[in-house]
Amino acid sequence: MNEQQRVLVVGANGTVGRHVVTGLLTGGTEVLALTRDPARAAQLPDGARLVPGDLSAARTLAAAAGQADAVFLAWPLHTAEGAAEALAALTGNARRVVYLSSAAVRDVPGQEPESPGRPDAAIESLIAGSGLRHTFLRPHGFMANALRWAAEIRTSGVVRGYGGAAGLTLVDERDIAAVAVRALTEEGHDGARYALTGPASPTQAEQVRIIGEAVGRPARWEEIPRAAARQQMVDSGWPLGIVDGALDFVAARIDAPEPVTDTVRDVTGTPARTLRDWALDHAELFR
Ligand SMILES: NC(=O)c1ccc[n+]([C@@H]2O[C@H](COP(=O)([O-])OP(=O)(O)OC[C@H]3O[C@@H](n4cnc5c(N)ncnc54)[C@H](OP(=O)(O)O)[C@@H]3O)[C@@H](O)[C@H]2O)c1
């Protein structure tokens, strides 16, 4: 039974948000979709109502304010600046917020997040202090991140990167969205901090092989030095404040692969999708 009447989805055209929109509509929940660009309305599924607004300017969020019973919040900005004002505007009459946070957030007071420089912990604190009922989704890496390898798999079948031996669990963005839909529309998720993973923690080199096999284009990993990887990240626009933390994170997973959780199955009743499933469903992008 849907308790919520209307859900505002922030990041409705995003990697996770677009599946949240579809899941809510399928379940009969009314959806308001926030976007900075009204021209994107055509990309939304039928039934979602577009609401204009920019998270970085709270005054633009007036149209979205006070209209929803619950909010799915993505915060795809590099800092938490302006988040208090934006949160207050977006959650006007809402009873509940489900925040797309990150597995990097730590609950131990004083313990640094694993990706320093990210705003997720600050946004969690804001929400926790707001008095709103809330659920924090803390996904590990999205399977969609593997799309950064698509051009190399298509052209040469060789993916060059640092940390091929690092064991990383990737979670399918559709599974994150399925958990979000449950948390937005069901009772029983208040105060939860859901660590979301896929069903396994393959090394990056194994991930490339799995994708190549699934899509029918054999692919392999070729290791490059950390310094070269760092330069590539900087050249491609990674904020300087998070590059080294991201590389440290990968280095630490060479001897200690990320653990997996059963949270997707526990919350949705369906096991987390595998990387092979994901690759088969996105195969045309790798061929
Ligand atoms: N990638 C990972 O592996 C990973 C892992 C854990 C956590 N996360 C977290 O996931 C979040 C990103 O989620 P995602 O990948 O689904 O997002 P995304 O695909 O990057 O999409 C971002 C969405 O937010 C909207 N947006 C961007 N800037 C905005 C602004 N100033 N005001 C209003 N809307 C704005 C965009 O919509 P319009 O263009 O229509 O405005 C877009 O639909 C981040 O907070 C990240 O920390 C990511």
Task: Tell me the per-residue pLDDT of 164-184, one tens digit each, with 9 for 90 and over.
Answer: 999 999 999 999 999 999 999
pLDDT for the residue 114: 60
Q: How confident is the model at residue 1 (pLDDT cuts 50, 70, 90)?
A: very low
| 35 close to ligand 1 (CB < 6 Angstrom) | yes
CA–centroid distance, residue 100 to ligand 1 (Å):
9
Both 118 and 163 in one domain: the answer is: no
Round to whole Å and give the CA distance between 30 and 7: 6
pLDDT for the residue 93: 85
Both 282 and 147 in one domain: the answer is: yes
- 43 Cα distance to chain centroid: 19
**Quick check: is 188 in a domain?**
no
**Quick check: is 265 in a domain?**
no
Task: Tell me the per-residue pLDDT of 73-87, one tens digit each, with 9 for 90 and over.
Answer: 999 998 999 999 999
Q: How confident is the model at residue 224 (pLDDT cuts 50, 70, 90)?
A: very high
Write down which residue in 119, 139, 159 finishes a domain: 139
Both 100 and 156 in one domain: the answer is: no
Both 134 and 216 in one domain: the answer is: no
Residue 44 backbone phi and psi in degrees, to 5: -80, 150
**Quick check: is 183 in a domain?**
no
Task: Tell me the per-residue pLDDT of 233-278, one tens digit each, with 9 for 90 and over.
Answer: 999 998 888 899 899 999 999 999 999 999 999 999 999 999 999 9
For the beta sheet containing 133-139, the strands, ordered from the edge strand earlier in sequence to the opposite edge, are 49-52, 30-35, 6-10, 70-74, 96-100, 133-139, 193-196
| 13 close to ligand 1 (CB < 6 Angstrom) | yes
Both 155 and 72 in one domain: the answer is: no
Specify the higher pLDDT residue, 177 or 59: 177
Both 107 and 155 in one domain: the answer is: no
**Quick check: is 191 in a domain?**
no
CA–centroid distance, residue 13 to ligand 1 (Å):
8
Among the listed ranges 7-11, 105-109, 208-212, 239-243, which one has the minimum average pLDDT value?
105-109
**Quick check: is 85 in a domain?**
yes
CA–centroid distance, residue 173 to ligand 1 (Å):
12
Instruction: Give the residue whose CA is nearest to atom 17 of ligand 1.
Output: 14
Residue of 8, 9, 10, 13 to mutate, ligand 1, most atoms within 8 A of C-beta: 13
CA–centroid distance, residue 218 to ligand 1 (Å):
31
CATH assignment at residue 282 = 3.40.50.720
| 250 close to ligand 1 (CB < 6 Angstrom) | no
**Quick check: is 192 in a domain?**
no
Both 282 and 155 in one domain: the answer is: yes
Q: State the closest ligand 1 atom to the C-alpha of 141, by its place in the atom list counted from 1.
A: 3
Average pLDDT over residues 42-61: 90
Both 147 and 135 in one domain: the answer is: no
Instruction: Give the residue whose CA is nearest to atom 10 of ligand 1.
Output: 100
* CA distance between the termini of the chain: 42
Q: State the closest ligand 1 atom to the C-alpha of 56, by its place in the atom list counted from 1.
A: 31
| 17 close to ligand 1 (CB < 6 Angstrom) | yes
**Does the structure show a pLDDT above 80 at 3?**
no
**Quick check: is 51 in a domain?**
yes
Q: State the closest ligand 1 atom to the C-alpha of 36, by its place in the atom list counted from 1.
A: 41
Task: Give me the domain span that covers residue 104.
Answer: 6-139
Both 149 and 232 in one domain: the answer is: yes
pLDDT for the residue 109: 63
Contact assessment for residue 192 and residue 258, using Cβ atoms and an 8 Å cutoff: no
Residue 183 backbone phi and psi in degrees, to 5: -65, -30
Both 62 and 111 in one domain: the answer is: yes
Average pLDDT, the chain: 93
Instruction: Give the residue whose CA is nearest to atom 6 of ligand 1.
Output: 102
CA–centroid distance, residue 14 to ligand 1 (Å):
5
Both 284 and 157 in one domain: the answer is: yes
Task: Tell me the per-residue pLDDT of 196-219, one tens digit each, with 9 for 90 and over.
Answer: 999 999 999 999 999 999 999 999
User: HEC string of 179-225?
Assistant: HHHHHHHCCCCCCCEEEECCCCCCEHHHHHHHHHHHHCCCCEEEECC
**Quick check: is 267 in a domain?**
no
Domain count across the chain: 2
Give me 220's structure tokens: 């392999």
| 141 close to ligand 1 (CB < 6 Angstrom) | yes
Both 18 and 71 in one domain: the answer is: yes
Round to whole Å and give the CA distance between 15 and 46: 18
Contact assessment for residue 211 and residue 279, using Cβ atoms and an 8 Å cutoff: yes
